[in-house]
Amino acid sequence: MSNLEVALPQEINILIVFIHGFKGNDDTFAKFPERLQHTLSQSIPSSKVECIVFPAYETKGDLATVIRLADWLTTITVNREVASGGGAGKVRIVLCGHSMGGLLAADSLLEFLKTRPDQEAPLWPNIVACIAFDTPYLGLHPSVFKNSAAQAVEYATTAHTAVTGLLTAFGGWKATSTTNQAQRKSVAAITAPPATQPATSAWGRWAPAAIAAGSALAAGAAAGGLYYQRDTLGEGYKWFADHMKYVGTLWNEESLKRRLEALADAQEQHGVVFRTFYTLVPATPPAHLHPRTFVVLPPQSSRTRPYFRINERWVL
């Protein structure tokens, strides 16, 4: 290079992937990805920023969706790196998950780290950050279930048959449903997706949900709006059980703790930024005397607590 030549700054390629949570869809994030892409493109010099949404997935069965996300992300990364001509690792990826989507993002990151050829190999795809919004890394706050139970009361009469049928499967209650009751319409009129075979995972399968003590409460909350519109007990139970299997990971305390510790290690040992923003609902006396959260927070003394930040811009 001659003295008159000036090296042009290399373009920074940033890919931000949004992942919806339980019962979410392609519209969960609304216009936010588009607005963020515009803002970052204008504020980061010599950058190419792209915000995309991971296609809607079924929130049912095991969390093997992490494999689909990993495969999809691998394909997207290769396409972007070939198009940019920068080579492997030149596209910097930020994973942003809402609710259960944050668990998918976290597990994808951790599996990419675990499956490197050796411990010294760089991380590919080049995930530089894992950001979560109200993701229950340590489970859902008990107040969430308390509110759900209260909401379920109004469905109690209509959903009585469904509830007793579910509790029969969970612990020995006798169902007393009749043909006429089973043919009633759903209170919430939500159409359940057809049953599909669960995907097998090369990275291992999530343990089935321990639907015992906590499941009866969840069943009561869900039965009126989700289960009761099915035509038969068998189909309805299958659909409900699949969805409970998905969210059942929130009762596996040891697994939740291991994941959170591994995310802290990812930042401290590999430089992958980890942050999770949680909503703090202000106290509203006399009904609620103290502020509330949707997710369980680590103790103040925990090494993972600094990674949790209050989301101060939220709307109910």
The predicted-structure confidence for 250-288, as pLDDT tens digits, reads as follows 677 888 999 999 999 999 999 999 999 999 888 888 877
Is residue 3 in some structural domain?
no
- Residues 243, 281, single domain; the answer is no
Is residue 2 in some structural domain?
no
CATH of the domain at 127: 3.40.50
Of 206, 229, 251, which marks where a domain is finished? 251
Of 210, 233, 251, which marks where a domain is finished? 251
- Residues 41, 125, single domain; the answer is yes
Instruction: Give me the torsion for CA of 233, 64, 106, 304, rounded to 10°.
Output: 60
- Residues 133, 197, single domain; the answer is no
pLDDT above 50: residue 222: no
At 285 the pLDDT is 87
Q: Cβ-count burial of 203 within 10 angstroms (0-12 exposed, 13-18 middle, 19+ buried)?
A: middle
Window from 39-43, 203-207, 304-308 with minimum mean pLDDT: 203-207
Is residue 245 in some structural domain?
yes
Given phi > 0 = left and psi -120 to 50 = alpha, else beta, which region is 46? Answer: left
- Residues 123, 264, single domain; the answer is yes
Q: Are strands 91-98 and 127-133 parallel, antiparallel or unpaired?
A: parallel
Range of the domain at 284: 12-139+253-311
Is residue 29 in some structural domain?
yes
- Residues 112, 200, single domain; the answer is no
- Residues 148, 283, single domain; the answer is no
Is residue 104 in some structural domain?
yes
Look up residue 22 and give its two tokens: 């339980």
- Residues 233, 243, single domain; the answer is yes
Please name the residue that has the structure tokens 């859902």: 140
Is residue 5 in some structural domain?
no
- Residues 298, 219, single domain; the answer is no
pLDDT digits (tens, 9 = 90+) for 34-51: 999 999 999 998 889 999
Question: Residue 250 CB: number of other CB atoms within 10 A?
Answer: 22
263: phi then psi, degrees, rounded to nearest 5: -70, -40
Instruction: Give me the torsion for CA of 240, 244, 247, 253, rounded to 10°.
Output: 170
Q: Cβ-count burial of 286 within 10 angstroms (0-12 exposed, 13-18 middle, 19+ buried)?
A: exposed
Of 228, 251, 274, which marks where a domain is finished? 251
What is the DSSP code (8-state) at residue 31? Answer: T
Number of domains in the chain: 2
pLDDT above 90: residue 309: yes
Spatial distance between the Cα atoms of 47 and 9, rounded to a whole number of angstroms? 10
Question: Residue 272 CB: number of other CB atoms within 10 A?
Answer: 23
Q: Which residues, listed in sequence order, are joined to residue 293 by a DSSP beta bridge?
A: 280
- Residues 134, 148, single domain; the answer is no
Spatial distance between the Cα atoms of 251 and 232, rounded to a whole number of angstroms? 29
Is residue 316 in some structural domain?
no
pLDDT digits (tens, 9 = 90+) for 181-200: 444 333 333 333 333 444 43
- Residues 134, 260, single domain; the answer is yes
- Residues 246, 212, single domain; the answer is yes
253: phi then psi, degrees, rounded to nearest 5: -60, -45
- Residues 164, 246, single domain; the answer is yes
Is residue 199 in some structural domain?
yes
Helices (H), the chain: 32-43, 65-84, 100-114, 142-152, 160-171, 179-182, 213-222, 233-247, 253-270
At 257 the pLDDT is 94
pLDDT above 80: residue 58: no
What is the DSSP code (8-state) at residue 250? Answer: G
At 113 the pLDDT is 96
Residue 147: HSE in the Cβ half-sphere, 13 Å Cα cutoff: 10
pLDDT above 80: residue 293: yes
